[in-house]
Amino acid sequence: MEFDQIIFGSKTFSSLLEDIYKNSKNKEKQIREMIIQLKDMITEPGDAIMMVPLLKEYLDASIKNDEALIKMAGIVQKAMSTNASSDSGDFLSDRDKELLFEEIKKIDTSPKMLEN
């Protein structure tokens, strides 16, 4: 498998994998910083009870976005490993195309993540 093969625009499979890794590390750092900031704001048990659902929502959105990228990488990897000389010239099965479009729709409609 050629990792430097362009999959769309100027994006290669290796750069997609790099983005997944960087996103994961960046989110880990953001979550640590957020917890440290929120820890200073908690002065009584009621404060913690209010903040935990916010953290959970942020973590859930982060996990869903990472899962979507990983699924996309899996579909691209499958397409890259498929024989390029197929009769139809179609690399993705209809089911793979449906999965890819579902994941793209999820990314477009997911809540915006906090950014540094």
For residue range 2-25, list pLDDT tens digits in order.
677 777 788 888 888 888 888 888
More confident site: 82 or 20? 20
Residue showing tokens 């999965």: 99
Residue 4 maps to a domain: no
Residue 61 maps to a domain: yes
Number of domains in the chain: 1
Percent of the chain with pLDDT over 70: 80
Residue 74 maps to a domain: yes
CA 27/CA 5 separation, integer angstroms: 27
CA 51/CA 79 separation, integer angstroms: 43
14 close to 21: Cβ distance less than 8 angstroms:
no
Residue 1 maps to a domain: no
At position 1, the amino acid (one-letter code) is M
Tell me the pLDDT tens digit for each residue of 23-52: 888 888 888 888 888 888 888 888 888 888
Task: Give the number of other CB atoms < 10 A from CB of residue 76.
Answer: 22
Residue 19 maps to a domain: yes
More confident site: 90 or 28? 28
Residue 65 maps to a domain: yes
Least confident of 11-15, 61-65, 100-104: 100-104
**Residue 70's domain spans which residues?**
11-82+90-109
The pTM score is: 0.52
Rounded to 5 degrees, φ, ψ at 24 are: -60, -50
Note the helical H segments in the chain. 13-41, 45-81, 94-109
